[in-house]
Structure 1
Amino acid sequence: MDDHRPDSGKTIKSIEQMLVILESIRRRGEAGVTEIAGDVGLSKSTVHHYVKTLELYDCLEKTDGRYRLGLRFLTYGGQARAGNRIYRLAKADVDRLAQETGELVRLVVEQRGYGITLYQSAGDEASRSDSHVGRVEELHCTAAGKAFLAALPESEVADLLEDIELTRYTDQTITERDVLVAELERIRSRDVAFDDEERHDGTRCVAVSITNRSDELLGAISVSGPKERLQGERFRTTIPNELQNLVGVVEINTTYSDWEEHVPN
């Protein structure tokens, strides 16, 4: 997400540099000072000062000269997620759908042109996955991402597509804008998005966007699994219907929550 920074107002360069360093470590999982310096274009001495300070505040952990993100971010992330209303409203339904389908169910939100996994729940049949809470993904190659794009006004989608590169991940990834626009129109007609091995070979996914009564995009819920289990009617009809029913409940709860917030005590 480091390529999509706000360009309005004044910023503090030292904080920007710190965030770029943290993003470099996040992408790599762990890294030494020399690797980080080469990645972010800063001197090793400058990077060393930053990582030592971050380590002092438990934002980084050091093992054998290599740094990784520290548990302090778990505190920040946990509090940020707990304050998100769609997480509170949808968490139990995500857990229930994971139990019913046996697959991996994710609650995803959109932020500045990317999809972020806010919560996920794995059913009994779910395969091991590199998906995790906080995972950042591009929108054009996932079911949740395409569900987001289809739910946005067409003018906003056009602006987004001007700014993002349609990276190819598999032979099935959509990398042409006109093809993606046509796909979004099909998603709008049915209110269901599909990822047929577009992000990972052998993996399929179904997603439905969540909006409130003002048509504000709140998130999306997706079900993913190996193509051997997500095929035929189960992939094209059964799971989409289950998702639409669940999202309908979440949207009703969202409307009720809005109403409660505006009722005088």
Structure 2
Amino acid sequence: MTYEVQGRTAIITLNREEKRNSFSQRIFDGLRKAVDRLTDDVRAVVIAGNGNHFCAGLDLSEHQHVPPFESVLRSRAAHRLFDDIQNCGRPVISALHGAVIGGGLELACSTHIRVADKTAFYQLPEGRRGIFVGGGGSVRIAKIIGVSRLTELMLTGRKLDAETGERLGLSHYLVEPGEALKTALEIAENVAGNAQISNYLMLNALAQIDEMPDGPGLFTEALAQALTLTTDDAKAGIEAFLQKRDIRF
């Protein structure tokens, strides 16, 4: 795992190229430490994979003889890690290429913006291995593509190519081979220039509103709007708009 900061963007890179960046305990611990390293001056995060693949999922060689209770604890640790990525208060962008399989897809779906190049392919082969997803896929992936499609993908284990993945919402951007990280960094630089409170509320309020009935959701929207409109950043942003000039907060 590598961690570096460029400007206001932290870049976290899975670095187990010889195993297609599959999730070993070492990779998991490295990702945990990298997320915990995020400082207040980091305004956006990019997660990428070294080599030819983003992440080929769980390293099953480490899970052949795991007792049931330990397996539950490992799954819950993955849930906490991916929750922390989704709820870190900053936009997180994933740069996807090659294999985005199993736990790799669960990791990608915990990020807010997903950029895939045309080499990317998606797969949930757990059913063909006699196991079940354990990194939050039954919730996060289902919210993106629907329970019916998730069920079919888990039952059949079939691969989805990059174009199909974009059509289903597994990626937001589809770029030429080798361009995913470059595009992800450009997006990170762009969104890092938003007002911090606006980014925070877009990442957190929208997720909460999605879980609410319409009435409470609309009330929460009104509160979020009021919180942003009364800030100095909002005043500066409105003034810049009226004066037809750009602004970076």
**Common fold: TM-score over 0.5:** no
Bigger relative contact order (CA 8 A; separation at least 6): 2
Larger radius of gyration between Structure 1 and Structure 2: 1
TM-score where L is the length of structure 1: 0.28
Per the normalisation by structure 2, the TM-score is 0.29
